Every structure is written in structure tokens, then in C-alpha cells.
């Protein structure tokens, strides 16, 4: 399925889009990491949770966690939140 990559992670993929597969969001991120080693660690923390500055959307809706089921036709968007002061 198509995965849209934020600019902060494009040093891994060299592209704004990547293809990956998995029946859950967690499996998709493992597959993405197989192709682009290190990218999963930038999205998932040591407690196996999505990092607090990252948001993931599936077909335009906020993901419900790493166990969310996916279909091959889904579009996954990884967004890096901006913060500052």
C-alpha cells in the first residue's frame, strides 16, 4: 500500500512515497523498516507506541493504534507534528 512520508523521514526513503504491506499498522511499519532500516525507530518509541510528535492517518482518518487493521488499497500518511514556542 502507499505510505506518504514526511520530509523529516525522507532521508531514509529518498522519496515522499513508499510502498509497504502488512495486515496491521504495526506490521506495515516493520515492513517499511525492512526496506528502510531505522525508519521505524523514528516513528515508534521503546514502549512500542507511536512517538508523541508523530501522527498516522489511514485513508484520512487518525489511526487507532498499531493494531489497526489495514487493507492493501489503504493509504497511510505519516505526519510529524510541529511544535515550538
Give all domains of the chain, ordered by start, each with its CATH number: 2-80 (3.10.20.30)
CB 12 within 8 A of CB 38: yes
**Does the pLDDT value for residue 83 go beyond 70?**
no
Query: What is the model's pTM?
Result: 0.90
**Confidence grade of residue 27 (pLDDT, cut at 50, 70, 90):** very high
* pLDDT value for 49: 95
* pLDDT value for 81: 80
Query: Residue 18 has which C-alpha cell?
Result: 513508499
| Rounded Cα distance, 32 and 77, in Å | 13
- Identify which of 71, 18, 74 has the alpha carbon closest to the alpha carbon of residue 43: 18
pLDDT tens-digit readout, 36-74: 999 999 999 999 999 999 999 999 999 989 999 999 999
Residue with cell 515522499: 16
Amino acid at each position: 500500500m502507499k505510505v506518504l512520508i514526511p520530509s523529516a523521514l525522507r532521508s531514509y526513503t529518498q522519496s515522499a512515497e513508499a510502498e509497504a504491506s502488512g495486515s496491521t499498522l504495526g506490521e506495515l511499519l516493520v515492513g517499511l523498516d525492512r526496506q528502510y532500516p531505522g525508519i521505524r525507530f523514528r516513528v515508534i518509541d521503546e514502549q512500542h507506541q507511536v512517538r508523541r510528535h508523530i501522527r498516522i492517518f489511514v485513508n484520512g482518518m487518525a489511526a487507532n493504534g498499531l493494531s489497526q487493521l489495514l487493507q492493501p488499497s489503504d493509504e497511510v500518511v505519516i505526519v510529524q507534528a510541529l511544535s515550538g514556542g
